[in-house]
Amino acid sequence: MTSREDIITVNIKYKDVDQTFTGNVENVWLSTRKFFDELVPSFEIANRLMLRVDLQKLAKECEGIIAFSDEGPNVLVPRGKLTDNETLSLWLLACYMGFHLGKLKESTVSKEELQSKLGKSAKIASTRLGELIKTEAAVKTADEKYRITSLGVFQLQKEILARIKAKIGV
């Protein structure tokens, strides 16, 4: 039988994980080793697979394409040079950036506002937004608004922004 003095408690905090091991020294030691041997490498692998947005890099890449004024976000590229999906993606990106830069109170935008920015009928706007949702570039929120996803930002950075810059000669 184990006496009270033989009980040990070890608490490990690593990023979002908080693990406590309690028991005799041998069992706690084995549990702690198992934690470090199995879990920490998994966290490191998962960390490398995470889509993260570097806001500073993104802002630099959007110079000449997106800007903010006292009235709110602006897409500087003429609509005629963009596809409907590029236009919607840029407006969603502008709202995302505006929110994360502290210029807007939310990162979402209504379908009506997007339709207005697109300059097309409600049906076309709905169809194009549906396409962005299908490719997981955007999501529809519970309050019937739209926002760009992390994957959508990644796709814009890797593919779409370069294509837009080539169209406008930036």
DSSP string, 94-113: HHHHHHHTTSSS-S-EEHHH
115 and 64 in one domain? yes
- Range scoring the smallest mean pLDDT among 29-43, 55-69, 82-96, 121-135: 29-43
Burial of 93-119, coded b for 16+ CB within 10 Å and e otherwise, reads bbbbbbbeeeebeebbbeeeebbebbe
> What pLDDT sits at residue 1?
46
> What pLDDT sits at residue 2?
47
122 and 61 in one domain? yes
Q: Which domain holds residue 35?
A: 4-49
Which domain CATH number covers 63?
1.10.10.10
125 and 41 in one domain? no
102 and 24 in one domain? no
111 and 31 in one domain? no
Domains held by the chain: number: 2
Whole-structure pTM value: 0.72
> In this predicted model, what pLDDT tens digit does every residue of 82-135 receive, in sequence order?
999 999 999 999 999 999 999 999 999 999 999 999 999 999 999 999 999 999
Spatial distance between the Cα atoms of 105 and 80, rounded to a whole number of angstroms: 29
> What pLDDT sits at residue 4?
56
> What pLDDT sits at residue 5?
64
12 and 68 in one domain? no
103 and 75 in one domain? yes
Task: Using the predicted structure, report yes or no on whether residue 15 has a pLDDT greater than 80.
Answer: no
> What pLDDT sits at residue 54?
85
Contact 108, 145 (CB under 8 A): yes
144 and 103 in one domain? yes
Task: Using the predicted structure, report yes or no on whether residue 141 has a pLDDT greater than 70.
Answer: yes
124 and 87 in one domain? yes
Task: Using the predicted structure, report yes or no on whether residue 162 has a pLDDT greater than 50.
Answer: yes
